[in-house]
Amino acid sequence: MLPTRSSDVLVLGGGIIGLVTAWRAAQRGFATAVVDPEPGGGAAQVAAGMLAAVTELHYGEQTLLGLNLASARRYPEFAAELTDLTGQDLGYRQCGTLAVALDADDRAHLRELHALQRESGLDSEWLSGRDCRRLEPMLAPGVRGGLRVDGDHQIDPRSLARALVTACELEGVVFHRVWAAGLSVVQGRAAGCVTEDGTVLPAGQVVLAAGSLSGRLAGVPKDVLPPVRPVKGQVLRLSMPRRHAPFLSRTVRAMVRGSHVYLVPRENGELVVGATSEEQGWDTTVTAGGVYELLRDAHELMPGITELPLTETRAGLRPGSPDNAPLLGPTELDGLLLATGHYRNGVLLTPVTGDALAHALATGELIDEARPFSPKRFAVLEQRV
Ligand code: GLY
């Protein structure tokens, strides 16, 4: 089949990471195209949309914290720009988050998280169980204490994905609604892709942004293929009553018997409950066990939840990487860049990923905040072993 017209930038994957990359690239004047059968789909259709740089801090992930905070700082302006451009509401709520403890073990764990947050210079306030319930009266009476983090917000990832598709369209991004079957490499340089229907799409530079599928694209040299794997997350959606007093006014999360559970209340009355974390390969089945565990843990946190209509159950795949951090920017293969491996932070990292990839496409360099996340860090590790 004859090749179609060449793009400057071809983005493989039209989830929120691919879309923000395409949008920002097109804004810089690159002729940009996206290859995806369903732009705006993927993990964003499942994700709750917590922007939780502070409450999702983990030991050993302080470098990632820097990138998470860089993206959190960009969010207000990013959301305003996208809303102004598209006229679409993104469900961006600066509502804060409350992380609570249900027993002595959870409380000790939260105390440690609080210490780590303070060492890292982050704002969070320790509250007694009574103060937690004063903030959120529907919480279980047994709540033993919690952390109030007013800087961790939320956005509706489905609205974000829709708006990014519109923003791309407005910037002239071309959509090829088909799967990419393989990368084209010509004389040692990424030169485009071949789609599932055999169409050749030539390009000056290619960005692989296909979430957990990024590690499977044919034609990518083995030492350049990103080490990402799917990590399944099951998520529920419920509907809150529209009463005078809100059922829940901010995101509430807890660790229950070692599993994370979070409740994210949207302004439109939707309550998102997430999420399981399962190493199950490519399976996206919603299981009775997954739904049971989420409802059981959410019920321990907020007993009133069992009264709410259950409107949706769904599973998605997080693109996990060996160090839980994304792979951003140029690879060892000329012309091929990566934007994948965002794991639990894809929605949060959307703004900084767009900026980092657009800069890398224009200059070949990463912005300072993104430098530690070059895909080349794994190539170096491989050479050492
Ligand atoms: N960031 C929430 C999750 O991945 O479940």
pLDDT of amino acid 8 = 98
- The residue range of the domain holding 300 is 97-150+230-320
* R_g (Cα) of the chain, nearest Å: 21
Tell me which amino acid residue 372 is.
Answer: P
Q: For residue 318, which atom of ligand 1 is closest to its CA? A: 4
DSSP 278: B
Claim to verify: residue 243 and residue 191 sit in the same structural domain: no
* Domain endpoint, select from 320, 346, 365: 320
**245 and 345 share a domain?**
no
For residue 274, which atom of ligand 1 is closest to its CA?
Answer: 5
Closest CA to 18 of 222, 319, 256: 319
Strand-strand pairing, 259-265 and 270-274: antiparallel
The response to whether residue 271 sits with its C-beta less than 6 Å from ligand 1 reads no
Q: Is the CB of 232 under 6 A from ligand 1?
A: no
Q: What is the pLDDT of residue 382?
A: 58
Residue 344 beta carbon below 6 angstroms from any ligand 1 atom = yes
- Ligand 1 centroid from CA 4, angstroms: 39
Distance 294 CA to ligand 1 centre (A): 13
pTM: 0.96
DSSP 93: B
Specify if 303 maps to a domain: yes
Same domain, 310 and 342: no
Q: Are residues 237 and 187 in the same domain?
A: no
Q: What is the rounded CA–CA span in Å between residue 356 and residue 69?
A: 14
What distance in angstroms lies between residue 275's CA and the mean position of ligand 1's atoms? Answer: 7
Residue 318, ligand 1, Cβ within 6 A: yes
Number of C-beta neighbours around residue 212 at 10 A = 25
In a domain, 76, yes or no: no
Pairing of strands 189-195, 270-274: unpaired
Residue 152 CA to ligand 1 center (angstroms) comes to 13
Q: Indicate if 335 and 314 belong to the same structural domain.
A: no
Residues 329 and 293 grouped into a single domain: no
* Per-residue pLDDT, 5: 81
Domain holding 280: CATH number? 3.30.9.10
263 with 367, same domain: the answer is no
Q: Over the chain, what is the mean pLDDT?
A: 95
Determine the pLDDT at residue 385.
Answer: 47
- Do 266 and 207 reside in the same domain of the chain? no
**If you measure from the C-alpha of residue 277 to the centroid of ligand 1, how many angstroms do you get, rounded to a whole number?**
8
Residues 288 and 305 in one domain: yes
State the Cα–Cα distance between residues 58 and 210, nearest whole angstrom: 26
Same domain, 145 and 277: yes
Residue 251, in any domain of the structure: yes
Token pair for residue 177? 């609604």
- Regarding the beta carbon of 342 and ligand 1, being less than 6 Å apart is answered no
Report how many domains make up the chain: 2
Q: Is the dihedral of CA 353, 231, 156, 150 positive or negative?
A: negative
Residue whose CA is closest, atom 5 of ligand 1? Answer: 275
- Nearest-5° Cα angle at 276, 60 to 73: 50
Q: Any idea what the CATH number is for the domain that residue 20 is in?
A: 3.50.50.60
Cβ(233) to ligand 1 under 6 A?
yes
Residue from 77, 51, 14, 20 nearest 350 by CA: 20
Tell me how far apart the alpha carbons of residues 144 and 6 are, in angstroms, rounded to a whole number.
60
- Whether 71 is covered by a domain: the verdict is no
State in Å: Cα 327 to ligand 1 middle: 18
Tens digits of per-residue pLDDT, 315-374? 999 999 999 999 999 999 999 999 999 999 999 999 999 999 999 999 999 999 999 999
pLDDT digits (tens, 9 = 90+) for 277-307: 999 999 999 999 999 999 999 999 999 999 9
Tokens of 369: 């905040």
Enumerate residue ranges in the chain where pLDDT < 50.
385
Q: Are 140 and 303 in contact (CB under 8 A)?
A: yes
Decide which of 287, 320, 353 is a domain's last residue: 320
- Look at residue 381 in the predicted model and tell me its pLDDT: 54
Pair type for strands 32-35 and 229-239: unpaired
- Specify if 308 maps to a domain: yes
275 lines ligand 1 (CB under 6 A): yes
Query: Do both 284 and 254 map to the same domain?
Result: yes
What is the Å distance from ligand 1's center to 50 Cα? 8
Alpha helices for the chain (secondary structure H): 16-27, 62-86, 104-119, 129-135, 157-170, 288-301, 350-363, 376-384
Whether residue 353 is found in the same domain as residue 245: no
Last residue of a domain, one of 279, 294, 320: 320
Structural domain contains residue 67: no
